[in-house]
Amino acid sequence: MKTLTDEQRNFLMESIRDVPDFPKTGILFKDITTLLNNADAFTLLIEHLRARYESSGLDYIAGIESRGFIFGAALAAKLGIGFVPIRKKGKLPSATIGEKYALEYGFDEVEIHIDAFEKTKEARVLLIDDLIATGGTAAAAAKLIKDAGAQCIEACFIINLAFLGGTDKLAGLTPCYCVLEVG
What's the pLDDT score for residue 1?
63
104 counts as catalytic: yes
* Res. 127: pLDDT tops 80: yes
Q: Rounded to two decimals, what is the model's pTM? A: 0.96
145-162 pLDDT, tens per residue?
999 999 999 999 999 999
Instruction: Measure the CA–CA gap between 29 and 3, rounded to whole angstroms.
Output: 26
What's the pLDDT score for residue 64?
98
Q: Where in the chain are the domains?
A: 57-182
51-105 pLDDT, tens per residue?
999 999 999 999 999 999 999 999 999 999 999 999 999 999 999 999 999 887 7
Instruction: Measure the CA–CA gap between 157 and 149, rounded to whole angstroms.
Output: 22
Residue tagged active-site, from 9, 50, 67, 124: 67
67 counts as catalytic: yes
Q: Check if the beta carbon of residue 49 is closer than 8 Å to that of residue 75.
A: yes
Tell which CATH classification among 3.40.50.2020, 2.60.40.1760, 3.30.1330.10, 3.30.43.10 matches the domain 57-182: 3.40.50.2020
